């Protein structure tokens, strides 16, 4: 598709996020809001944000809640059907009424189980003991002050003893009471030694009464003993609910459910027939609601799920990726990726009604459809490549859950398999450098799917279910192709997303690093000095980025393009001035400063024209921060009055910013300044380079150029050491060689070239194959260019004319 197509859509999404407006204000040097920005404007922004989130929320709810093949406007119970309702596909279901009748018969046939509870006897004896202690205490009170009937009623209110029995106890002696208690305990033990169920309580009481009558006490004491027995007896042969339920459950599990088969095209309800509950039970198996409440419940459930998913992502972004959260274009891209996968799942669901039935029955009835058709891993791959691998893990989990809901699969196997395969995909594209690496990630996803599907199949193998086995084969086939589909989907969408949303994957950066890119070729031809400066800065920045674990590729590519703004006026910059004259000698310092500082804004505009990624554009506009252009500032001070003008001049001679916002921009700021300053050294040496680098680092730090990025002092120190090391290696000194006229190469004695060559050959033939290193000899060798090389052997050339050895470096 044409580039202007992407440009138009890219502009549209940038306008959504407000990026163009904010950037325009920034490059103009404005740090305040426009005058027209009022309270109503802020309200408009908040309203837009609300509508933005509401749009994606509504779209996600629609995809989650919408269903295919669902008959509408069904009549209610006891209404006449206005049309025939036909089964859209074959289904096997349980006849609930007949199955329930069988279960009830099973429950009735199970005998009730009882168990002997020996704790009842202990409890009864304890209660008897407490009653007799109570009687003894009351007798003591009664002897001091006789109790009237009303007081007796109060005292026995919470005691299991009748009024007459208690009164009889008060009137007897302690000795008789003690003997009566011993006799009653013995009777209770004898009676409760047998199994006494609730039905045998009366029989046990009668038996106890007989034994009490045979005791040697008067009638009143015997009646008291019988009364206490009746008040405290409990059944010790009780209903064993657990044992009974266990038998029932076993019989219910063995009971065969009554199945009913409904074939595709079979009429469920005929026109004119009265709708019964049985009809609606069948229709519910086809995801049809009795009263239409299904749609409402479905949308409520989908709304809650969508809301929860959005909240999880927002919380994660705010806590870990605030830069992504603040850019609506990136949020839009992420949302569209997820929605695209969910939409594919909805299409699969729409085209495969058999899969809906399979989800209800937990079997696979269609040989053509599987939940693994959906390329869920593609979302994880794209998010990892375009945004962040850690974010991709979160998005993958949410996407898998949403797809599972859309397909109605409700399978833990499906969730776990796709989550793990998505994780494998992210790990394999974390450091991808070529588009073919995405294919490799897809292959890993394929094998992961196959391995996990087969593993679960072995774990849940069921030889009696033929549909289950055929479904596993189906899933294995589609699980294998799923990785390739995901890779193809990701590769196909990646360039469109990169162009549309102005984001850069590592592959996009690698493409931009190609020195044959049109913009870099233009820089080479129109500003060759700047081009070579950018290449060197790229090498410096890449090495420094690796040492502090920043994005080395972004640093290298950003450095290649950081000075493209100089293309507008290449002759204004010293590295491109080849004629010996400096244009700035003839113009005022403030105009020179403006022409120099404008290259950041010009570079940003050129970058937009060439559709460079936003990360590169940010580096272009930030690589000088708000640094002072000291050369022209000093020149302006020399040519102006002292005093009040100094403050005004300094503001006019500073870059417009913003300051570096990322580690990568800060690295390029330092590398750019160091490489440019190094060229001013007349006698470069390791100590001079070290002093220069540290001076520039300290000046930028004291000037606050790193205040707005997350770089640390430790990072700055590592960057400085790396720059020192690389520059010393790149700009090493060379040994000056004497002119050939001074070493006798000129044929002054009339020696012919042929004779000279013969002498050289003779010397070479007589020379030893190896020369031992002499003490104090330097570890150097002669390179092809005649300079100092890197090997550790010395090369000695024999001069036969002089009869001695001459060491040559």
Asked if the model's pLDDT at residue 123 lies above 80, the reply is yes
Is beta strand 804-807 parallel, antiparallel or unpaired with respect to 259-262? unpaired
pLDDT of residue 42: 44
Q: Which residue has the higher pLDDT, 614 or 641?
A: 614
Asked if the model's pLDDT at residue 772 lies above 60, the reply is no
**Worst-scoring range by mean pLDDT, 620-634, 698-712, 779-793?**
779-793
User: Residues 662-672: pLDDT tens digits?
Assistant: 999 999 999 99
Task: Give mean pLDDT, residues 320-333.
Answer: 87
Q: Which residue has the higher pLDDT, 180 or 771?
A: 180
pLDDT of residue 619: 95
CA angle 265, 266, 269 (to 5 degrees): 120
Other C-beta atoms closer than 10 Å to the C-beta of 578 total 9
Q: Which residue shows structure tokens 């550790």?
A: 792
Q: Phi-psi region for residue 78, left (φ > 0), alpha (ψ -120 to 50) or beta?
A: left
**Worst-scoring range by mean pLDDT, 142-146, 331-335, 695-699?**
142-146
Q: Phi-psi region for residue 771, left (φ > 0), alpha (ψ -120 to 50) or beta?
A: beta
pLDDT of residue 352: 65
**Worst-scoring range by mean pLDDT, 88-102, 180-194, 526-540, 602-616?**
88-102
Asked if the model's pLDDT at residue 788 lies above 50, the reply is no
Confirm if 392 and 490 have CB atoms less than 8 A apart. no
Q: pTM surpassing 0.85?
A: no
Those residues whose C-beta lies under 8 Å from the C-beta of residue 183, and which sit 6 or more positions away, are 212, 215, 217, 225
Q: Rounded to an integer, what distance in angstroms lies between the CA atom of residue 624 and that of residue 665?
A: 9
**CA-closest candidate to residue 461, choices 360, 453, 359, 479:** 453
Asked if the model's pLDDT at residue 746 lies above 80, the reply is no
User: Residues 234-263: pLDDT tens digits?
Assistant: 888 887 778 778 877 777 777 677 777 787
Asked if the model's pLDDT at residue 754 lies above 70, the reply is no
Helix/strand/coil for 274:
strand
Asked if the model's pLDDT at residue 279 lies above 70, the reply is yes
The average confidence (pLDDT) of the chain is 76
pLDDT of residue 600: 92
**CA-closest candidate to residue 669, choices 649, 691, 699:** 699
Asked if the model's pLDDT at residue 232 lies above 50, the reply is yes
pLDDT of residue 469: 57
Give the confidence band of 751 by pLDDT, cuts at 50, 70, 90: low
User: Residues 709-742: pLDDT tens digits?
Assistant: 989 999 999 999 999 999 988 776 666 666 555 5
The percent of residues above 70 in pLDDT, for the chain, comes to 74
**Which alpha helices (DSSP H) does 408-465 contain, by range?**
412-429, 436-459
Task: Give mean pLDDT, residues 47-72.
Answer: 75
Confirm if 72 and 283 have CB atoms less than 8 A apart. no
pLDDT of residue 802: 37
**Worst-scoring range by mean pLDDT, 26-40, 565-579, 635-649, 759-773?**
26-40
Q: Phi-psi region for residue 2, left (φ > 0), alpha (ψ -120 to 50) or beta?
A: beta
pLDDT of residue 681: 84
Asked if the model's pLDDT at residue 639 lies above 70, the reply is yes
Query: What are the backbone angles phi and psi of residue 247, rounded to the nearest 5°?
Result: -65, -40
User: Residues 125-136: pLDDT tens digits?
Assistant: 888 888 888 777
Asked if the model's pLDDT at residue 572 lies above 70, the reply is yes
- Burial label for 50, CB within 10 Å (0-12, 13-18, 19+), is exposed
| Structural domains of the chain, with CATH | 1-30 (no CATH), 114-239 (no CATH), 308-503 (1.10.1760.20), 508-730 (1.10.3210), 768-809 (no CATH)
The percent of residues above 90 in pLDDT, for the chain, comes to 25
pLDDT of residue 752: 63
pLDDT of residue 350: 76
Give the confidence band of 532 by pLDDT, cuts at 50, 70, 90: very high
Asked if the model's pLDDT at residue 161 lies above 90, the reply is no
**Worst-scoring range by mean pLDDT, 339-348, 463-472, 679-688?**
463-472
Three-class secondary structure assignment of 520-565: HHHHHHHCHHHHHHHHHHHHHHHHHHHHCCCCHHHHHHHHHHCCHH
Confirm if 596 and 573 have CB atoms less than 8 A apart. yes
User: Residues 361-376: pLDDT tens digits?
Assistant: 233 344 456 788 899 9
**CA-closest candidate to residue 526, choices 578, 567, 471, 579:** 567
């Amino acid at each position: 598709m044409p580039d202007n197509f992407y440009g138009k859509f890219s502009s549209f999404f940038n306008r959504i996020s407000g990026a163009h407006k904010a950037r325009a204000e920034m490059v103009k040097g404005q740090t305040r809001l426009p005058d027209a920005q009022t309270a109503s404007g802020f309200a408009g922004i908040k309203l837009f944000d609300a509508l933005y989130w509401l749009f994606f929320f509504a779209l996600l709810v629609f995809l989650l809640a919408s269903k295919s093949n669902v008959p509408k406007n069904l009549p209610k119970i006891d209404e006449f059907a206005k049309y025939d309702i036909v089964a859209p596909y074959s289904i096997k279901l349980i006849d609930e009424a007949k199955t329930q009748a069988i279960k009830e018969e099973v429950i009735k046939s199970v005998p009730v189980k009882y168990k002997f509870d020996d704790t009842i006897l202990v409890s009864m004896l304890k209660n008897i003991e407490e009653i007799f202690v109570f009687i003894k205490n009351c007798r003591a009170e009664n002897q001091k002050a006789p109790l009237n009937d009303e007081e007796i009623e109060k005292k026995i209110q919470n005691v299991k003893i009748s009024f007459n029995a208690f009164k009889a106890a008060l009137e007897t002696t302690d000795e008789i009471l003690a003997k009566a208690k011993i006799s009653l305990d013995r009777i209770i033990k004898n009676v409760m030694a047998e199994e006494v169920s609730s039905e045998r309580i009366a029989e046990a009481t009668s038996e106890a009464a007989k034994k009490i009558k045979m005791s040697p006490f008067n009638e009143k004491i015997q009646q008291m003993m019988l009364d206490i027995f009746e008040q405290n007896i409990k059944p010790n042969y009780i209903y064993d609910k657990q044992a009974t339920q266990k038998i029932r459950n076993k019989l219910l599990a063995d009971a065969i459910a009554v199945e009913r088969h409904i074939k595709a095209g079979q009429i469920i309800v005929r026109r004119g027939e009265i709708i019964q509950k049985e009809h609606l039970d069948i229709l519910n198996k086809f995801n049809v609601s009795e009263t239409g409440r299904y749609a409402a419940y479905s949308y409520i459930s989908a709304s809650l799920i969508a809301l929860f998913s959005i909240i999880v992502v927002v919380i994660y972004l705010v806590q870990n990726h605030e830069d992504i959260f603040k850019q609506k274009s990136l949020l839009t891209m992420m949302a569209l990726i997820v929605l695209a996968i969910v939409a594919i799942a909805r299409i699969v669901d729409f085209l495969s009604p058999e899969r809906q039935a399979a989800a209800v029955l937990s079997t696979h009835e269609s040989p053509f459809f599987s939940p693994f058709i959906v390329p869920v891993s593609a979302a994880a791959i794209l998010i990892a490549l375009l945004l962040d691998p850690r974010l991709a893990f979160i998005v993958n989990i949410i996407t898998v859950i949403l797809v599972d809901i859309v397909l109605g699969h409700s399978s833990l196997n499906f969730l776990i398999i796709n989550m793990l395969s998505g994780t494998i995909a992210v790990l394999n594209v974390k450091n991808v450098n070529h588009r073919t690496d995405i294919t490799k990630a897809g292959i890993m996803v394929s094998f992961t799917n196959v391995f996990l599907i087969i593993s679960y199949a072995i774990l849940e193998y069921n030889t009696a279910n033929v549909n289950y086995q055929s479904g596993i084969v189906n899933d294995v086939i589609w699980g294998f192709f799923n990785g390739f589909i995901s890779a193809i989907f990701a590769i196909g969408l990646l360039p469109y997303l990169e162009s549309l949303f102005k984001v850069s994957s590592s592959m996009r950066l690698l493409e931009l690093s190609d020195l044959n890119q049109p913009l870099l070729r233009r820089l080479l031809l129109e500003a060759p000095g700047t081009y070579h400066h950018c290449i060197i800065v790229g090498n410096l920045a890449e090495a420094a980025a690796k040492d502090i674990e920043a994005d080395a590729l972004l640093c290298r590519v950003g450095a290649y393009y950081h000075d493209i703004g100089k293309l507008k006026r290449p002759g204004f910059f010293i590295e491109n001035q080849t004629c010996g004259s400096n244009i700035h000698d003839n113009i005022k310092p403030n105009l020179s400063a403006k022409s120099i500082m404008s290259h950041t804004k010009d570079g940003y505009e050129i970058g937009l024209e060439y559709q460079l990624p936003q990360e590169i554009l940010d580096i272009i506009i930030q690589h000088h921060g708000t640094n002072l252009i000291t050369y022209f500032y000093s020149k302006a001070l020399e040519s102006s009055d002292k005093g009040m003008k100094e403050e005004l001049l300094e503001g006019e001679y500073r870059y417009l910013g913003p300051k570096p916002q990322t580690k990568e921009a800060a690295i390029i700021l330092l590398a750019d300044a160091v490489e440019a300053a190094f060229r001013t050294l007349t006698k470069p040496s390791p100590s001079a380079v070290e002093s220069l680098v540290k001076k520039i680092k300290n000046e930028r730090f004291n000037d606050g150029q790193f205040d707005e990025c997350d770089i640390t002092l430790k990072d700055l120190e590592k960057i400085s050491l790396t720059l020192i090391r690389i520059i010393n290696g790149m700009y090493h000194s060379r040994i000056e060689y004497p002119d050939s006229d001074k070493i006798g190469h000129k044929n002054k004695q009339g020696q012919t070239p042929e004779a000279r060559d013969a002498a050289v050959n003779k010397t070479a033939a007589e020379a030893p194959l190896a020369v031992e290193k002499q003490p104090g000899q330097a570890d150097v060798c002669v390179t092809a260019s005649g300079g100092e090389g890197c090997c550790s052997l010395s090369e000695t050339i024999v001069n036969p004319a002089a009869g001695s050895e001459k060491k040559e470096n």
